[in-house]
Amino acid sequence: MGTRRYEMSLRNRAKEQTREAILDAAEGLFAEAYFDEVTLGDVARRAGVSQQTIANHFGSKGELYLRGIAERWAPAIDAQRSTARVGDVRSIVATICADYEHTGVSTIRGLALAERFDELAQVMRGGREYHRKWVAKVFDPLLPPSGKERERLVTLLGIALDVRTWAQLRHDAGMGQRATRDHIEQLVTALVGHRGD
């Protein structure tokens, strides 16, 4: 009985290691290219497994993408954003810009294809909801306690801190990280009326 339990434990560990290797490969590939440019063959080669092994673990490329978001990207983004000091404009802007330095380009790619792929549309909807809730939370002390004005400010602050705003400054305008932060901070400060620091 002990030997069988040990062998099952080894098999389970090997299965989990394979699953993590697939997620590692997929995370890297989806960060480097558009969703439609990545194939299961690409993931299999990078992970050192067969396409059938990926199918056994995840079913499809779409499911693999969604599991990677749920298990890797979303927790990492949440951990990054949780470092923002509530009510501190400078901290909030620095936190969101640090997030986008890692996730911004991939998110922009996802937005570009969201209308064509249900998996991407689902992720982007969830991302928008998360972003709005985060904005409302971190700016809470600087906002009216309730009502239409609060909702209006949350909407406008969400736009000021949107990944597309960051991308326009950082990539389209070619600004450095500090200039991008400064510009976004000016937008936010104009909305809340003071720096909050």
pLDDT at 79: 94
> Global pTM?
0.83
pLDDT at 149: 94
SS (H, E, C) the chain: CHHHHHHHHHHHHHHHHHHHHHHHHHHHHHHHCCHHHCCHHHHHHHHCCCHHHHHHHHCCHHHHHHHHHHHHHHHHHHHHHCCCCCCCHHHHHHHHHHHHHHHHHHHHHHHHHCCCCHHHHHHHHHHHHHHHHHHHHHCHHHCCCCCHHHHHHHHHHHHHCCHHHHHHHHHHCCCCHHHHHHHHHHHHHHHHCCCCC
Which domains does the chain show, CATH number per domain?
Answer: 1-64 (1.10.10.60), 83-197 (no CATH)
pLDDT at 14: 83
pLDDT at 12: 76
Mean pLDDT of successive 10-residue stretches along the chain, which has 197 residues: 67 86 92 91 94 93 90 91 96 97 93 90 93 97 94 97 98 97 97 64
